Amino acid sequence: AGNPPHRDPCLAAPELRLQMVRAAVAGQGAFVVDEREMRRGGVSYTVDTLLDLRAEHPQRSLCLLLGMDAFLGMPHWHRWREIFELAHVVVAHRPGWKAPITGPLGEVMVDRGTGSVRDLHQSKAGRIYVHAVTQLEISSTDLRPLLYANRALRYLVPDAVRELIVTTGCYAQHQR
């Protein structure tokens, strides 16, 4: 996100965050780094990015990948209901989180939820698929205190990203 609306001012400049993403996926041919939110300028709303992608790929199935924590916050996003008209939402089920069964997201889960990946291929948008993943419970919020304490991030982020963080000191200068 070039300028995320739901966070305090970013500690690392957008260009540096883009450099970290490039470093994280270097050598992974299945990933493409997209700079459109940085080029667009202004606040980076997911719905605007998906509108651009849908215009570029009108017949393709598009999926927005989110962690469960981000998914649970969707009702606070700008024009969040439109997202389901533009893409499927694939939710990575994180340890300790539960999919909603009540409220606006619970209703959306009932209407749009699917247990089959095949459904994501059969339409262009509109479904929610919760996918259990084996992962470490690591978040940027958890990493910042380690950085402030000058602790190592080895094995918590890709080595190339760790090197950028250490070399630039982008987070060390913002200790709280």
pLDDT digits (tens, 9 = 90+) for 139-149: 777 777 787 77
pLDDT digits (tens, 9 = 90+) for 87-108: 999 998 866 777 888 899 999 9
Per-residue exposure over 35-62, b if at least 16 CB sit within 10 Å of its own CB, e if not: eebeeeeeebbbbbbbbebbeeeeeeee
pTM of structure:
0.81
pLDDT given for residue 173 in this prediction: 54
* Contacts with 55 (C-beta within 8 Å, 6 or more apart), sequence order: none
pLDDT given for residue 79 in this prediction: 96
* Contacts with 118 (C-beta within 8 Å, 6 or more apart), sequence order: none
pLDDT given for residue 176 in this prediction: 46
* Contacts with 149 (C-beta within 8 Å, 6 or more apart), sequence order: none
* Contacts with 142 (C-beta within 8 Å, 6 or more apart), sequence order: none
What whole-number distance in Å separates Cα of residue 155 and Cα of residue 152?
9
Which residues of the chain have a pLDDT value below 50?
A: 176
